[in-house]
Amino acid sequence: MTTSKKTPAIDELERLREELGSINAVAKHLGLPRSTVYNAFYKEQDRKRGVSRPGNEFMPWAVERHHLDGQTARMLRLHNRFTEHGAEVPEAIRPTFETNFLTLEYNNFVVCYHKDSPPYRLVPEGGFFFRPRRPDDNLGLLQQPADGQTPPTLELLEEWASQLR
């Protein structure tokens, strides 16, 4: 069983960076991924400037970490930043981004999440799924499942996926 290493406080990271000369050297010294150390500096820089980057707080679910790294979660974060915060969608992904959300809207589908939802062709990481909007759904793209609701079966997910045009 592996154990994860705790990232030191920013004061310690800054001291090590000054001593060792680079983020790469600090990461290597601590045995942490470079991205972990870089992100700690990045967050501290934003904190000092009073910047708050929209994250996952708009999602009405507690999402498992491995699902947050998937394409669906990334597109939802970008969609939130675009619609709520006026962020620009990078040109390289704009066609995919627009097609994804226009397809959901056109087909009157919503995005749901259940931590045990199986992977399928539209969401290879699992967790998130797209389903037809129900009459009792709230307004909006994201729908919270009912308490105690079980995840949809793979067969049902594939049936819904085949309905998207």
**pLDDT per position as a tens digit, 38-92:** 778 767 765 776 655 567 888 898 888 889 889 999 999 999 988 888 888 888 8
Mean pLDDT of the region 3-19? 83
User: Lowest mean pLDDT: which of 45-49, 129-133, 155-159?
Assistant: 45-49
Mean pLDDT of the region 94-122? 95
3-state secondary structure 10-52: HHHHHHHHHHHCCHHHHHHHHCCCHHHHHHHHHHHHHHHHCCC
* pLDDT value of position 67: 92
Which amino acid, 94? Answer: R
Count of other CB atoms within 10 angstroms of residue 130:
22
In the predicted structure, residue 3 carries a pLDDT above the cut 90: no
* pLDDT value of position 35: 78
* CB distance 125 to 67 below 8 Å: yes
Mean pLDDT of the chain: 87
Mean pLDDT of the region 118-124? 96
What residues does each domain of the chain span? Answer: 10-49, 65-163
